[in-house]
Amino acid sequence: MDEEILPKIDYYLDESDPDIVILRRQDDTFVAAFSAQGVTKEGILEAAKEDYRKLIELHSGSRNPREEDRRSTA
């Protein structure tokens, strides 16, 4: 059985600046920034899901530059 194991990625919130909340990966990589006043749980979750999806695409080698261009202009 050739089942690919997906990498586990942990995210955390960097709240060191009182005006900005930064979503980071476990290795301190920047993912997204939010206004501290307007940040929502849903926004954070969406940013983490999008980042994870992109990492999986890169890891699997299924990244299609034409598809990326199509999504970014839609």
Domain range spanning residue 21? 11-61
The domain tally of the chain equals 1
Answer yes or no: is 1 within a domain: no
Residue 45 within a domain: yes
Give the pLDDT of residue 63: 47
The answer to whether position 74 is within a domain reads no
How far apart, in whole angstroms, are the C-alpha atoms of residue 63 and residue 65? 6
Question: Which tens digits make up the pLDDT trace of 2-23?
Answer: 556 667 889 999 999 999 999 9
Residue 39 lies in a domain: yes
pLDDT tens figures, 27-73: 999 999 999 999 999 999 999 999 999 988 887 775 455 555 555 55
Cα torsion 12, 46, 66, 58: sign:
positive
73 burial type by CB count under 10 A (0-12 exposed, 13-18 middle, 19+ buried):
exposed
Whether the full predicted model's pTM is greater than 0.75, yes or no, is: no
In a domain, 73, yes or no: no
Q: Is 5 inside any structural domain?
A: no
